[in-house]
Structure 1
Amino acid sequence: MGVVMSIDTGNKMMKTNHFIFHSGIKRKEQKILPGEEGIFFKGINYLESNQRISYLEDKTIDDRYYILTLLGVAKELEKEGIETGIYEGGTIPIQLLVGLPPGDYGKQIRKFREYFWRQGKAVYFSYKGKPYRIRYESVNVYMQGYSAYILVANQLYLQEQPKVLLIDIGGFTVDYLLVRYGVVDRTRIDSLPEGIIMLYKRIMVGIRQRFNLYLEEADIDNILFKRKTPYSELVVRRTFEIAAEYMGDLLGSFLEFGIDFRTTVTVFVGGGTVLLKDIIDEVWKRYHSTYYVVDDPRANVKGFIKQYMAEKAGY
């Protein structure tokens, strides 16, 4: 059995077992220096970048997410102290676990698997000057959101619930699915283009119009995470007001879809959920129903692994 690598290829952030980094890379003409986060692949140096890739409806359109995934693999191999030379033939076998949003899962699963597998051929690259040779023995593609459900279902006794609404707030999309006694209702699955990136835009416009102040995404993160910032109390308060308006609008859209929170147990997951935890708690007071916030940005990554291990065990 090879090395199991679980990677969430998010629109805003990449998540692995141990790392979270921006979904952004840039080319570098010079050699990668010691300490720089980057890989050398097919004759080109790629550096990790805080400037995320613009939203791609189809991530297989070019090699950027393939390279970002290689970077995630490299980080994990280094952390685990796994080197090419310890394997027979000098190739590290990888079982790659990735995911797709519910709305894209059925139509993109085959393409997404092929995008990474590439006939299982050996892949050569170097990370921090150390050469690696890997081969994807298998590529398993799971449904994001449902993987997070699997992770917390036993702990929260969700299989016993007649209806569980899973809301995964991501970078560009908000994915949702309805689960009835542990079984996904395929008629209640979709991905909405209302993720955190849309919230950033709302806040940037609102703050610029009122205060003539230009915020970056990182500035907004710092405010919403309640970190120390140089901004006035008025700017901070308005940022939270816009975030609350966003969350109110988002939850209101589910009522338009015919989903009544009073008849479901609602579970929030995803990186956007972690960012907006306090906002969710405040806005939810108007609904008077059961909900949970999974404060773990790697919930899908861990869920991929749990599903994979269950499959290997024959469950």
Structure 2
Amino acid sequence: MKFCKTIMQTIQKRSERNMNNKLEVIGIDHGWSMMKTISQVFVTGVKEITTTPALFGDVLEYEGKFYKVGTVRQEVKDTKVEDDSFYLLTLAAVAKELKRRGLAEAKVFLAVGLPLTRFGAEKNDFIKYLTKNKRVSFKYENEPYHIEIDDVAVFPQCYAAVVDKIPTMVKKTLIVDIGSWTIDIMPVINKSPDESKCVTIPKGLITCMRSINEQCVRQLNGEVDESEIQNIMRYGRSDIDDEYFAIIKAEIEDFVDKVYNSIREFGYNLKTTPIVFVGGGAVVMKNFGSHDAKNISYNLDVKANAKGELFVSMPRYRSNERDESNGVIYKDVCNPITAEFREELYTNILDAYARIKEPEKEETQMQDRTQGTKGSFEMPEFSVTVTPYEREGSNIKGLARIYFENSFIVNNINIVQGKEKIFVSMPSYKTKQVDEQGKPIYQDVCYPVTKDFREKLYNEIISEYEKAKDKSNEKARESAEKNHGNPDKEKDKEATPFR
């Protein structure tokens, strides 16, 4: 589509300014049972080795000490910053990801997660914990690594697992993230999480495994290794002794029932509310749950919270409106309005980003594109709708909307009365910066990038505004003439939109 091509030409020009961007984004899910990255899963366990190891598989060397990574799961603590365990596990996770990418030195941006309701209380401490050393040198599996931690971003775990799916959630949807230690329950309303109703329950899969072994000891005087229990949870079957298997199966089914009961206790209808199970426990709910309804679905990717998967998020703004649950309603500023164009646009944006991550390849391709596209921006086809708007004390005279090729829409365009004439104001947002006079600086969300197209677009918007205003005034005059002399409707004369 011509409009998509125009957008991509703009993105390509901007990508020239990012050629030297070599920041490595690494998403890590610091679970109490498993550490996860986009490509790796290993046990949340780290233990110091007091002598030089004979074998270096899964061995971390840091500050003169050796640590075996990923063996026995460590015990759950009140927070993840009480000791160096999760810091060391983070270095191991970074090394695994850098090795996959063929790197030994990198500037790293860490994207990590915390339980929903602990997010606010623990976020700052977790960032300080992971950034306590700006530059870090260490060895993993006897290979040296040198990293610079550029920054750390912390996200709510449950939200991170489904953030790319939220724009498709047209109905109120309940996200249930079952992790090692916690169960996070997050309702999504009007495509936005309702933070006021988010809940974290400290009864995750580890509590289920503890209960299983308590029953095994009580009934059979023996325990089952956690790795065996996890295999049964994952696959629903095992070749272990039938008596042990029966206990494990019964306890897992009891755990699943308790999860559903918790959802019900928080006021959700198990038969009508769309429910999405995510996290390591999603497969447990699928394999052992008794509810097999159309409204229940499962994201079985245990790395979903860590993937940091790339997706495109169009600009939105917080409106003054509230939903039936008194939650804030967010509205789109601009967005694709057809599935075909959305797929084409988002794919092209992600492709452009991927090229930035390959500077040498991008540099060669950029020369060809620059020669072929320089000065060749095509004006897309568009149409405009305008609603006249009058409010006492406001200089906003109308609200406009632009449709590009019936595929993409731009909202929130203001028609403003200046000192001498009407002008068009494109969508923008208030930044935290101020100018020399101390006034806030606004940043454009979307705008024309060429003078010719800007003039054509703005003239069309103002022309449509004048037509809409004339039409509105004409209707007001007709109404006034029709009601002339009618005392009961005389008050309607005061309601004309333009005076």
Normalised TM-score (structure 2): 0.56
Identical residues among aligned pairs (%): 28
CA apart distance, 1:263: 4.2
Letter in 1 for 2:41: I
Matched, 1:295 2:300: yes
Deviations 1:178-228 (A, max 9, x none): 110211111111211110011111211222222333212122123332454
Aligned AA (2:95) = A
Contact 2:181 2:205 in 1 (8 A): yes
Residue 146 of structure 2 is matched in structure 1 by 133
Q: Map Cα deviations across residues 106-157 of structure 1 (whole Å, 9 max, x no partner).
A: 1111111121122x62111111222211111111111111111213345xx3
Matches within 5 A, 1:10-89: 10-84=31-105
Aligned pair in 2 of structure 1 residues 261, 230: CA closer, same or farther (>3 Å)?
Answer: closer
Q: Evaluate the alpha carbon distance shift between residue 33 and residue 76 of structure 1 in structure 2; reply closer, same or farther with a 3 A threshold.
A: farther
Matched-pair contact (CA < 8 Å) for 2:98–2:104: yes
Take 2:115 and 2:215, find their aligned partners in 1: how far apart are those partners?
A: 29
Please tell me whether Structure 1 or Structure 2 has the larger radius of gyration of its CA atoms. Answer: 2
SS of residue matched to 1:18: coil
State the Cα distance separating 1:98 from its structure 2 match: 0.5
Partner SS, residue 244 of structure 1:
helix
> 2: CA distance between counterparts of 1:202 and 1:102?
25
Where 1:112 maps in the other structure, the secondary structure is helix
Residue matched to 1:306: 310
Cα distance in 1, alignment partners of residues 79 and 44 from structure 2: 14
- Counterpart among 178, 182, 187 of residue 173 in structure 1: 182
Aligned mate of 2:240, from 227, 230, 234: 230
Q: What corresponds to 1:88 in structure 2?
A: none
Measured in 2, the distance between the counterparts of 1:308 and 1:55 equals 36
Q: Is the 8 A contact 1:177 1:184 kept in 2?
A: yes
- Structure 2 residue matching 1:268: 3-state secondary structure: strand
Contact 1:202-1:242 at 8 Å conserved across structures: yes
SS at match of 2:276: strand
SS at match of 1:249: helix
* C-alpha separation in 2, matches of 1:305 and 1:174: 22
Query: 8 Å contact 1:222–1:229 — kept in the other structure?
Result: no
| Distance (Å, rounded) in 2 between the aligned partners of 1:132 and 1:145 | 31
d(CA) in 2 for partners of 1:245 and 1:61? 32
Q: Does 1:284 pair with 2:291?
A: yes
Equivalent pairs, count: 297
Distance (whole Å) between structure 2 residues aligned to residue 74 and residue 310 of structure 1: 33
Matched residue of 1:178: which SS?
A: strand
1:97 alignment partner in structure 2:
111
> CA deviation digits over 1:268-288, x for unaligned, max 9?
0001223443113xx214xx5
Aligned-pair distance for 1:56?
2.1
Greater helix proportion: 1
Alignment gaps of 5+ in structure 2: 1-20, 316-349, 354-444, 447-499
Structure 1 residue identity aligned to 2:303? R
1:229 partner amino acid: D
Matching of residues 98-117 of structure 1 within 5 Å? 98-117=112-131
CA distance in 2, matches of 1:310, 1:43: 47
Question: How far 1:62 moved relative to its partner?
Answer: 1.5
Output the CA distance in 2 between the equivalents of 1:48 and 1:275.
26
Displacement after TM superposition at 1:83 (Å): 2.0
Residue number among 193, 199, 204 corresponding to 2:213 in the alignment:
204
Report what 2:399 is aligned to: none
Task: Work out whether residues 236 and 287 of structure 2, in 8 Å CA contact, stay in contact via their aligned partners in 1.
Answer: no
Task: Work out the CA distance in 1 between the residues paired with 2:291 and 2:280.
Answer: 18
Q: What is the alpha-carbon distance in structure 2 between the residues aligned to residue 201 and residue 307 of structure 1?
A: 38
* Partners of 1:122 and 1:134 within 8 A in 2: yes
Q: What SS does structure 1 have at the residue aligned with 2:281?
A: helix
Q: Is residue 256–residue 284 contact of structure 2 (8 Å, CA) maintained in 1? A: no
SS class of match (2:222)? coil
Alpha-carbon distance in 1 for matches of 2:128, 2:309? 20
Do the aligned partners of residues 16 and 184 (structure 1) sit closer, same or farther apart at CA in structure 2, a change above 3 Å counting?
Answer: same
In the alignment, is the contact (CA less than 8 A) between 2:29 and 2:113 conserved in 1?
A: yes
**Cα distance in 2, alignment partners of residues 74 and 32 from structure 1:** 19
Q: Which moved more, 1:40-49 or 1:305-314?
A: 305-314
Counterpart code for 1:18: S
Are 1:164 and 2:173 an aligned pair? Answer: yes
- Does the residue aligned with 1:208 lie in a helix, a strand or coil? helix
User: How many Å separate the matches in 1 of 2:239 and 2:78?
Assistant: 34
**CA offset at residue 34 of structure 1?**
4.1
State the distance in 1 between where 2:176 and 2:279 align: 8
1:258 Cα deviation from its structure 2 partner: 2.1
- Corresponding residue number in structure 2 for 1:151: 164
Report matched runs for 1:240-255 at 5 Å.
240-255=249-264
